[in-house]
Every structure is written in structure tokens, then in C-alpha cells.
Structure 1
Amino acid sequence: MEEYKNPLVERYSSKEMLYNFSPKKKFLIWRKLWLYLAEIQKELGLNISEEQIHDLKNHLYDIDWNKVSFYEKKFRHDVMAHLYAFGEKATIARPIIHLGVTSAFLGDNTDIILIRDGLDILLKKLINLIFRLRNFTLEYHHIPTLAFTHYQPAQLTTVGKRSALWLQSLLLDLEELEFRYKNIQFRGIKGTVGSADTFKELFDGNLQKLKDLEQKLSNKFNFQNVFPITGQTYDRKVDAQILNLLSNISQSSHKFSNDLRLLQNLKEMEEPFEKEQIGSSAMAYKRNPIRSERMASLAKYVISLSNSSALVAATQWLERTLDDSANRRLVIGQSFLAVDAILMIWNNILEDLIVYPKMIDKHIKEELPFLVTEHIIIECVKKGADRQDIHERIRIHSMKANNKIKLKGEENDFIQRILHDKKIPIHEKKINQILNPKKLIGFSSNQTLEFLDTRINPILNRFHRLIDSNLTNRDIKI
């Protein structure tokens, strides 16, 4: 309890994402890079024995962490520390470990692998989130609710149409995630400044052997594409693009958390609240939306980190400078951990998201008289009235009705005012027909169902293997 603990590790992120960015996985990848490099170098004719390859394999998972720590303090160089520690175990292979490559060969290729694997973890959580939100949207696609612009009452929409807006943001994020995942490139083997000069010597000027080495090595880690050129490192714009993606997911998440908290204040929707959960230490009646607040808090953090990776990409010097190193150690892993936590919280909220239809109806009835003004204008114009004249009459009546509501606390008498105005040619029977909320939602329900059918369901079908089985068994099926 006397040392700082990272909340992303202690409280928020999943075990799978924590392992993905753990030292153990990172350094095992380093060793696999050394092993596969040696295997392919041998295959391409370099003087490496089968005994040395077996030696590497036999000690691949045999990491002496104390020895690594000793060498890192001695050399102040993490790659050399692991190289020496591995060499003490794999003594036969020691002379050929790290042959022809530089530190960036390990660091950059490993980072690309971890980023790719991190995206894979997020993909599953994102698909399950889309599945849950799709089911919610389908269930409430036809339920009228009061829409807001500028957080002021506007016209009607439906609960499902509103949640379709959240879905659409996630769809954009998913499309970007897929693009980044499919197009991420292995750093490959480029040497100290990207010229692969060492391998020109090792392969006696045979460029094809270097290309074969790169392609075979990238295939070992399931990459189809390799950066055609690099400096000492891969282009740091890749990090900026990835963190921008994570920022975009966070922006979508924050928007949802804002909307839910606004709706919870109106008592129309509410995040889950446990039986013994305490909302406030002082105000025992409170049901604070701590989950959506936590989402928003983490989202702000990720959005802020994306600027850091952009600065790193912008300020690299020539073939490379090391002032990216500490920054990347912090921002890449922590951005993934935070987004992982955000998606878990959002999935958790949607497991038991509560809707209060009677409160929704109450708010509709309070504003309904004002919501039909455009319909009244249209009906009057159909009967030959001047649109501008009717608009002005309605504006005057609505302002007077609003003043009575706000200043005197009286009931909304806007409809009575309209019916008593002889200059507005509309009958009470017609107004009563117009005042049906289900007739004031426009094409909200149609738009929502079409969106689910044409854009969301095909994605869920394509990624059906990623949807948790308990969800497909319990919730509405595709």
C-alpha cells in the first residue's frame, strides 16, 4: 500500500488486455522473434546449426527475471539485458542470437503485434456491445419519446431511434477498427537506419533473400503485409492512427454516457443500480449514475492521450529519435486498457438498462401541445391560409402559454388558445387526431428497422462467432 498502483490495472481493465500488454507477453514475443529469425536465417543458408535452433526452443520460456533485472541495471539497455539473460540459458545458441538486427527489430515488431492483438480483444467487446444495443433498439423502435435539440424539447422521436444514433457511432468506429486491423503492417527487418546494410553483407548482396526472410518472418506472426520502407522504426503515424481510433471509440462512449445521464435526470432511463448500492454518503435517496460517469471519465483520458501520439509522430527526427520511447510505453498500453474498461462498463450497463415508459409519456403530454404546431400550420395551409400569418399567430399563442406555465405554474392552455382563434382555420376533431404521439414520430420506426436490417444485422451475422453464447441464447436472436 506504499506504492502507486495504476487504477487501470487495479480496478478497470480485463485480464486478457492486461496480459496482452504485460512484460511476460512482450518478452516472450522478443524470444520468438529471435527464434524465428534464426530458423529462417538457417533456412536461407546462414551458418546456424540445428543444435542452436533446438537450444533456443528449449529455453524459449525459461526467463530468469532476476538476471534480466541485474543486466538492465548494469547496461541500462533492456534489449541487451534480455539478450544476455537468454544467452546464459541458451549457451549453444548464444553466438547467433540477434544476428544482423537492432533493438527496433524487437521493439517495433512486438509493439505492432500487441496493437494488433489488442484490437482483436476490443473487436469482440465492440461486437457484443453492438449486439446488446441492437436488441435494445429493436425492442423500443416504436416507443415515442420527446426529442431534444439544445437540450430543449423539440419534436418526437422514438426510444429506439435515439439508441440507433448510438449504434451508428459504434458502426463508424467498427468500420475504422476493421480497416486498421486489416491494414496494419509488420515492421520487418530493416537494420539500424532502414537500409538493411547488415543483411546485404550476410546474404552477399542477395536482396531476394532479405525479402524472403521478411515475408517468412511476418507470416510466422500472421501478418500479410510488411512495411516496404522504414527508418530505424516504423512510421509513428501508425500509433497516432491507432490512438485516434481509440479516441473515436471513447467519443462514442462519452456521448452515450452523457445522454444516459441526462435521461436519468429526467427519470426516463436509468443505468443498473444494485440492491445494496449506495448512491451518496450524505443523501441516502440518490441513485448516482456511477457507471456512465466512469465511462465518461475514462473516455476523457483516452481522448487526451491521442494528442500525445500525434505529437510523437510530428516530432520524430530524421531516421529516429528516442524521445518517443517513454511516451509510447505509457500511452499505447494505457489507451487500450482504458478503452477495454469503457467497453466492459457499457456492456454491463446494457445488461440491465432500465426504461420508464410512464415518465416518458408524462413528458410527452407536457410538451405535446407545442409539438403539433407545424402540423397545425400544414393543415391550415391546405385550407388556403397564409403560412406566415398562421406561423405568427401560433408564435404569439405559444409565448403566452409558456409565460403562464413558467411564471404562474398553470396548465398548458395552448390548444385552447388555438381553437378560440378564429383566424386559425382548424377544428377540434382534427387537432385531437394530430395529438396522438404515435402519429408524430415521422419515419423514426421505419428508419430504425431499416438501419438494423441493412447495416447492423449483416455485421452481427458476419461476426456471430464473437457474440457470447449466453447472449444469443437469452436475448433476441438475429
Structure 2
Amino acid sequence: MDLNQLTAISPIDGRYRKQLQHLDEYFSEFALIKYRVLVEIEYFLFLGEKKFCKIPVSIKNHLQKVAENFSLEDAAWIKETEKITNHDVKAVEYFLKAKLDECKAEHLKEWIHFGLTSQDINNTAIPLSWKHAVEYDYLPAIINLQTAIEKLAVQYKNVPMLARTHGQPASPTNLGKELMVFVERLENQIQLFSYIPFTGKFGGATGNFNAHHIAYPKYNWVKFANEFCEERLGIQRQQYTTQIEHYDTLAAHFDAIKRINTILIDLCRDIWSYISVDYFKQKTKKGEIGSSAMPHKVNPIDFENAEGNLGIANAILEHLSAKLPISRLQRDLTDSTVLRNIGVPVAHTILSIRSIEKGLGKLVLNEPKLKEDLENNWAVVAEAIQTILRRENYPQPYEALKDLTRGKNKIDKKTIHQFITKLKVSTSVKKELKLITPYNYTGINL
């Protein structure tokens, strides 16, 4: 069968293709080849700037257009060449040499890929594509989601809600504050993420500039490589490497995304639970079906879909961060195939973020249900009463409230007020205690 959305093995390229196809700019085989071409061209032009070779403006402009207008046809040419070379980066080198032939610049061809190993290209092209994916797509997506949650938190700032610790009724809280918990957690992790640099390797076959140094022993190749990576590509160069980069910072990025995803899983489960106890209704859409058998159902599928995809993303991210920093001696090839999969967990993560955004947009607060739960759980003000009694130096207030409330089937307003009336405290304290309700015992309105 021909590959299309119905025949694709991965749901990323099948069922969810329309939602995720923009990621092929960073993570597809085409993208990898495109970024390799970009790095090779930038390196060639940088050699020219440093006077190793004289590159006419016309040739410079021609190659820059090759990078800017790199096409599927160009990538196909390279893949056909790879069938002969059985080496992907060498095929890119031959492609660019052919482009120089078009300009009658055969005398410059051997400055393409001068002194380099393939990993000097891969370990700059991939970090660069990763940097662009993070800065242009992932970070905006997660920050937008954080903003959406914060807007809901502000909207529900003054909505009292029964808290549940260990699944049991507990001291009341505010719905808005509970959402702000996730806003703060995301903000902290996004900030930590931003501290992690984008790094790459650029230093020859085993990281020592052997070929560069033998050709030009008096030239400062370390300075050259640092300038090239940082000023031309915008990534930090690792100073001591084997044939490949360490992948430590890339692993740190994966771990950071994994932590953020774990927070989102927690959010999904909480919102799912609020829906299950009817704190939230969900907006319906004409024609949609919740259950093939039960017409009344409006299932929280957006949060379930997100949770599932976040789980897949985290499983892959865990493998990536555990595997990539490990390489036998100066290099083995296990990183190559693994690196080709870094877009997979990102795609599942982006899909999850969009599902959560969609789910949040469908929520409708069911305030009567929140009030009903508070009214049915007057026992939660026991903490407030015993705390004030402690302040008044009342003997064993905790034990008195424990005897009144623990394990009892029904504690209502009448029960609490009868208890307060019998207390041997001043009238003013009794009045103070009777003003406490499950609706206003919500602490500081943060």
C-alpha cells in the first residue's frame, strides 16, 4: 500500500498527521538532510571568511540560495547518491560539490567538508534543528498552555471547593488556587529548561582537530570552531569530545520535558477527577457522540488522550536521556538511529498539549455541585474550631472535635453549632466560631 494517513504505522504520520505535520520541518529525514546542507554551507563560507579559500560573491550567493531553497528534489538527489555511497553525510558533500560544478567552481570543491568527520555535521545539524524546534514550537506551546491554565485560575479565584487529601474530604480550598499550583509548577520547570544550553560537537574525527592541525599546524582551530558554532550556528561548542558530542545537555532537555509532561499528567488526572464528581460539565458539539451505546455520555476524552500520549512521550524520553550519553570508547553507531527518533516524543507531547487546551476550553463550572459538596461536609470546619480553641487554651480541643466528627455518618451545620453552644468559652468566641462555614474556611485567597 502507498503511504498515507490510513496506511501509516505510526499515528503521528497517520491519524494525527494534520495536527503534527509542521514538525517535519525539524524532525523528518528531509529536515535532517536540510540542516546538514545548511551546516556544510555555513562551514564552507566561514572558511572563506577566514581566508583559507577565496569565495566569489556570486558563489556565496548561489550556495546561500541552495540552503534557503532546499527542496524535496534536492533531498531525493542526496538519497539516491546515498544508495551508492552508503554514507549519508558523504552524499551531502557530493551534492554540494555538484552545486559548485554548476558555478564553474571546481577549484573550490575540496574545501567542502574540509578536515571534518560526519559527526561534526550531525552533531551541529541536529542540535540546531532541535534548538529551532524548541524555540519556535515546543516552548511557545507549553507557555501558551500555562497561560490558558492561569486564565482559568483567575476566573475561578473566588470559587470555594472541598479539598480532598487521600481522597477524603479535607479543609476547603479555592478552585483557582488549585489551578495555580500547576501554573507555578510549569513556570518553574520552564525556567529550569531555559537554563540548559544547546550544545554541539565540532572537532574532527576524534575531537582533536587532527586533520585541521596537520594541514595548518599554526592556526588556532579551537578558536575557529568556537566562533563557528557560537556565532554562525548559535550553539555552544563542547571543548573536549570523542567523535560525537556528549549528549548530556540534550539528555537534560529530554528530562526537563519529561518532568513537564509528568506535571501535565497530574493536571489531566485532577481535571478528569473534577469532571467525574461533576464539578465540571463539558460543552457539547452538535453531531458528536460520547458513547456508541449510552447517548447521555460526554466523556473527558481530551484529558484521557493527552494522558496517554504524555505517557508514550515520557517512555521514549526516558530511553533517549538514558541511552544517548553512553557511547563505547570514542564512538559507536547506536546514537545514529536513536537520534532519528527525537521528534517522536515531541510530537506526542505537542499533541497532548493541544488536547489539554481543547479540553480546558470545553469546561463549564458546575457551582451548585461544589456548594452541595461543601454543605454535605461540615466536618471540615473541625480543624478551624479546634485551632481557635487552642488559641483560647481550651483543654484538649483536638480530641473533643475528633470525638464529634471522626467516622460519623452525618455532620451538618446544626451538629457543629450545637457543639459550639455547649463549649465553656466566652460568648464572643462562640460567635466567632459560628461564623465559620465550609464556604469561607478557605484560607488566604492567593
Whether the TM-score (by the shorter chain) exceeds 0.5 is yes
Q: Aligned partners of 2:240 and 2:368: how far apart in 1?
A: 62
What does residue 355 of structure 2 align with? 345
Which one of 217, 229, 234 corresponds to residue 204 of structure 1? 217
- Structure 2 residue 432 is the aligned partner of structure 1 residue 398: no
- Structure 2 residue 197 is the aligned partner of structure 1 residue 216: no
- Structure 2 residue 130 is the aligned partner of structure 1 residue 109: no
CA RMSD between the two structures: 2.6
- Secondary structure at 1:155 match in 2: strand
What does residue 12 of structure 2 align with? 8
What does residue 208 of structure 2 align with? 195
Q: Aligned partners of 1:249 and 1:28: how far apart in 2?
A: 30
Q: Aligned partners of 1:370 and 1:163: how far apart in 2?
A: 25
- Aligned residue runs from structure 1 range 11-410, under 5 A: 11=16, 13-50=19-56, 53=60, 56-57=63-64, 59-60=66-67, 61=70, 63-91=73-101, 92=106, 93-120=108-135, 121-180=137-196, 183-187=197-201, 189-207=202-220, 209-223=221-235, 225-270=236-281, 272-313=283-324, 315-330=326-341, 332-367=342-377, 369-381=378-390, 384-387=393-396, 390-399=397-406, 401-402=408-409
Q: Deviations over 1:5-52 (max 9, x none)?
A: 322233165443332223333222212212221112123232454375
Q: Aligned partners of 2:41 and 2:420: how far apart in 1?
A: 88
- Secondary structure at 1:198 match in 2: helix
Instruction: Calculate percent identity across the aligned residue pairs.
Output: 18
In the alignment, is the contact (CA less than 8 A) between 1:418 and 1:424 conserved in 2? no
Q: Deviations over 1:178-221 (max 9, x none)?
A: 112xx22343x3000000111112323312x5513540353122
Q: Which moved more, 1:151-160 or 1:235-244?
A: 235-244
Between Structure 1 and Structure 2, which shows a larger proportion of helix residues? 1
Task: Give the count of matched residue pairs.
Answer: 427
In the alignment, is the contact (CA less than 8 A) between 2:251 and 2:320 conserved in 1? yes
**TM-score normalised per structure 1:** 0.82
Q: Aligned partners of 2:110 and 2:388: how far apart in 1?
A: 90
Residue 172 (structure 1) shift: 1.5
In the alignment, is the contact (CA less than 8 A) between 2:12 and 2:20 conserved in 1? no
- Secondary structure at 2:169 match in 1: strand
What does residue 443 of structure 2 align with? 442
Q: Deviations over 1:411-446 (max 9, x none)?
A: x458427726986446775554112612x0111x1x
Letter in 2 for 1:7: P
- Structure 2 residue 418 is the aligned partner of structure 1 residue 419: yes
Letter in 1 for 2:23: M
Q: 1:131 to 1:200 in 2, by over 3 A?
A: same
Q: Deviations over 1:324-368 (max 9, x none)?
A: 2112211x111221222222222333334321111111111111x
In the alignment, is the contact (CA less than 8 A) between 1:236 and 1:312 conserved in 2? no
Q: Which moved more, 1:162-171 or 1:85-94?
A: 85-94
In the alignment, is the contact (CA less than 8 A) between 1:34 and 1:97 conserved in 2? yes
Q: Aligned partners of 2:125 and 2:140: how far apart in 1?
A: 22
- Secondary structure at 1:4 match in 2: coil
What does residue 450 of structure 1 align with? none
Q: Deviations over 1:213-250 (max 9, x none)?
A: 54035312234x32222211111222211110110121
- Secondary structure at 1:259 match in 2: helix
Q: Deviations over 1:59-95 (max 9, x none)?
A: 4436434433332233322112233344334323543
Letter in 1 for 2:110: P
In the alignment, is the contact (CA less than 8 A) between 1:267 and 1:356 conserved in 2? yes
Q: 1:430 to 1:81 in 2, by over 3 A?
A: same
In the alignment, is the contact (CA less than 8 A) between 2:382 and 2:405 conserved in 1? no
Q: 1:273 to 1:110 in 2, by over 3 A?
A: farther
Letter in 2 for 1:204: P
Q: Aligned partners of 2:31 and 2:324: how far apart in 1?
A: 26
Letter in 1 for 2:323: V
Q: Aligned partners of 2:269 and 2:48: how far apart in 1?
A: 58
Q: Aligned partners of 2:328 and 2:75: how far apart in 1?
A: 34
In the alignment, is the contact (CA less than 8 A) between 1:398 and 1:414 conserved in 2? no
Structure 2's unaligned 5+ residue stretches are none
**TM-score normalised per structure 2:** 0.87
| Structure with higher RCO (Cα < 8 A, 6+ apart) | 1
Q: 1:94 to 1:146 in 2, by over 3 A?
A: same
- Secondary structure at 2:266 match in 1: helix
Q: 1:272 to 1:83 in 2, by over 3 A?
A: farther
Letter in 1 for 2:408: A
In the alignment, is the contact (CA less than 8 A) between 1:9 and 1:18 conserved in 2? no
